[in-house]
Amino acid sequence: METVALVSSYDKEDMASIKVLHSCTILTHRIITNRLHILFHFTVTLLLLYYRISHFFNGNSLPALSWALITISEIIFTFIWCLTQAFRWRPLSRTVSIDEIPANMNLEGLDVFVCTADPRKEPTMEVMNTIISALALDYPPGKLAVYLSDDGGSYITLYALKEAFAFSKRWLPFCMKYRIKTRCPEAFFSLAKYEELSITDEFSAKKDELEMPLLVYVSRERRPSKPYRFKAGALNALLRVSEKFSNGPYLLVLDCDMYCNDPTSARQAMCFHLDPQMSPSLAFVQFPQMFYNISKNDIYDNQARSAYRIKWQGMDGIRGPSLSDTSFYLKRKALYGSPNCEGTQRFLYSNKHPSEAQRTSGELMKFSSEEEIAILKEAKLLASCNYERNTKWGEEARWTSVYFCPTRPCFLGCTTIDMKDALVQLVKWSSGLLQIGLSRFSPLSYGVSRMSILQSMCYGYFIYQPLYAIAFLIYGIIPQLCFLNGIPLYPKVLSPWFVVFSTVYLSAIGQQLHEVLSDGGTTLTWWNEQRIWVIKSVSGSCFGCLDVFMKWSGIKKTTFRLTNKAVDKDKLEKYEKGEFDFQGATMFMIPLSAMAILNMACFIGGLGGIILRRNYEEMFGQIFLSLFIMALSYPMIQGLLKRSKKEKQ
Q: Looking at the structure, do residues 575 and 442 belong to the same domain, yes or no?
A: yes
Three-class SS state of 58? coil
Examine residue 80 and state whether it is found in any structural domain, yes or no: no
Q: Looking at the structure, do residues 404 and 436 belong to the same domain, yes or no?
A: no
Examine residue 317 and state whether it is found in any structural domain, yes or no: yes
Indicate the residue type of 407: T
Specify the DSSP element, H or E, that contains 132.
helix 124-135
**Which residues form the domain of 554?**
424-647
Tell me the sheet residues that pair with 110.
144, 250
Examine residue 365 and state whether it is found in any structural domain, yes or no: no
Q: Looking at the structure, do residues 174 and 290 belong to the same domain, yes or no?
A: yes
Neighbours of 203 (CB within 10 A): 17
Q: Please name the residues in contact with 305: beta carbons below 8 A apart, sequence gap of 6 or more.
A: 516, 519, 521, 525, 529
Q: In angstroms, rounded to a whole number, what is the distance separating the alpha carbons of residues 191 and 130?
A: 17
> Could you tell me the sign of the dihedral formed by the alpha carbons of 450, 454, 455, 457, in that order?
positive
Q: In angstroms, rounded to a whole number, what is the distance separating the alpha carbons of residues 593 and 639?
A: 11
Indicate the residue type of 266: A
Q: Which of 119, 143, 89 is nearest to 256 (CA)?
A: 119
Q: Looking at the structure, do residues 410 and 500 belong to the same domain, yes or no?
A: no
Examine residue 571 and state whether it is found in any structural domain, yes or no: yes
Q: In angstroms, rounded to a whole number, what is the distance separating the alpha carbons of residues 156 and 160?
A: 6
Q: Looking at the structure, do residues 533 and 610 belong to the same domain, yes or no?
A: yes
Q: Looking at the structure, do residues 253 and 234 belong to the same domain, yes or no?
A: yes
Could you tell me the CATH number of the domain that includes residue 308? 3.90.550.10
Q: Looking at the structure, do residues 403 and 452 belong to the same domain, yes or no?
A: no
Q: What's the distance, CA 441 to chain centroid?
A: 21
Long-range contacts of 302-308 (CB under 8 A, 24+ apart): 302/415, 302/416, 302/422, 305/516, 305/519, 305/521, 305/525, 305/529, 306/515, 306/529, 308/405
Tell me the sheet residues that pair with 146.
112, 215
Q: Which of 275, 299, 302 is nearest to 288 (CA)?
A: 302
Can you give the pLDDT at residue 335? 83
Examine residue 127 and state whether it is found in any structural domain, yes or no: yes
Which of 415, 439, 454 terminates a domain? The answer is 415
Annotated binding site: 121-122, 151, 231, 255
Annotated binding site for UDP-alpha-D-glucose: 121-122, 151
Tell me the sheet residues that pair with 328.
253, 286
Examine residue 381 and state whether it is found in any structural domain, yes or no: no
Q: What is the total count of domains within the chain?
A: 2
Angle between helix 616-632 and 590-613 (nearest 10)? 150
Q: Looking at the structure, do residues 411 and 443 belong to the same domain, yes or no?
A: no
Any idea what the Cα angle at residue 254 is, between residues 251 and 259, rounded to 5°? 120
Can you give the pLDDT at residue 14? 38
Three-class SS state of 613? helix
Q: What is the DSSP letter of 321?
A: P
Q: Looking at the structure, do residues 463 and 567 belong to the same domain, yes or no?
A: yes
Q: In angstroms, rounded to a whole number, what is the distance separating the alpha carbons of residues 610 and 483?
A: 9
Q: Which of 191, 325, 321, 302 is nearest to 256 (CA)?
A: 325
- Asked if residues 339 and 281 have their Cβ atoms less than 8 Å apart, the reply is yes
Distances (CA, A) of 171 to 175, 179, 409: 6, 12, 22
The residue count of the chain comes to 649
Q: In angstroms, rounded to a whole number, what is the distance separating the alpha carbons of residues 573 and 293?
A: 11
Q: What strand order describes the sheet that includes 250-255?
A: 214-218, 144-150, 110-116, 250-255, 328-331, 282-286, 400-403
Q: In angstroms, rounded to a whole number, what is the distance separating the alpha carbons of residues 419 and 423?
A: 6
Q: Looking at the structure, do residues 404 and 503 belong to the same domain, yes or no?
A: no
Phi, psi of 408 (to 5 degrees): -90, 125
> Could you tell me the sign of the dihedral formed by the alpha carbons of 258, 260, 266, 267, in that order?
negative
Any idea what the Cα angle at residue 331 is, between residues 326 and 332, rounded to 5°? 100
Q: In angstroms, rounded to a whole number, what is the distance separating the alpha carbons of residues 135 and 130?
A: 9
- Asked if residues 413 and 565 have their Cβ atoms less than 8 Å apart, the reply is no
Distances (CA, A) of 611 to 606, 616, 626: 9, 8, 16
Q: Beta strand 18-26 with 92-96: parallel, antiparallel or unpaired?
A: antiparallel
Examine residue 374 and state whether it is found in any structural domain, yes or no: no
User: Which pTM does this prediction carry?
Assistant: 0.85
Indicate the residue type of 434: L
Which of 415, 449, 475 terminates a domain? The answer is 415
Angle between helix 124-135 and 155-177 (nearest 10)? 40
Can you give the pLDDT at residue 12? 41
Q: Max Cα separation, the chain?
A: 93
Q: What is the DSSP letter of 415?
A: -
Q: Which of 144, 143, 146, 134 is nearest to 106 (CA)?
A: 143
Neighbours of 155 (CB within 10 A): 10
Annotated binding site for Mn(2+): 231, 255
Q: In angstroms, rounded to a whole number, what is the distance separating the alpha carbons of residues 260 and 136?
A: 9
Q: Which of 108, 20, 93, 139 is nearest to 402 (CA)?
A: 93
Which of 356, 380, 415 terminates a domain? The answer is 415
> Could you tell me the sign of the dihedral formed by the alpha carbons of 537, 542, 545, 547, in that order?
negative
Q: In angstroms, rounded to a whole number, what is the distance separating the alpha carbons of residues 579 and 573?
A: 9
Q: What is the DSSP letter of 2?
A: E
Examine residue 355 and state whether it is found in any structural domain, yes or no: no
Q: Looking at the structure, do residues 113 and 144 belong to the same domain, yes or no?
A: yes
Angle between helix 496-518 and 616-632 (nearest 10)? 20
Q: Which of 70, 565, 91 is nearest to 314 (CA)?
A: 91
pLDDT means over runs of 10, the chain (649 residues):
34 48 93 96 97 82 87 96 96 93 90 93 93 96 96 92 95 92 90 48 54 93 76 89 92 95 96 89 94 88 88 92 92 79 47 41 60 73 67 61 95 89 88 91 89 93 95 95 93 94 96 92 92 92 90 70 69 83 83 90 91 88 92 78 62
Instruction: State the virtual CA torsion across 346, 354, 151, 259 in degrees, nearest 10.
Output: 100
Q: Looking at the structure, do residues 172 and 249 belong to the same domain, yes or no?
A: yes
Q: In angstroms, rounded to a whole number, what is the distance separating the alpha carbons of residues 152 and 115?
A: 10
Q: What is the DSSP letter of 363?
A: P
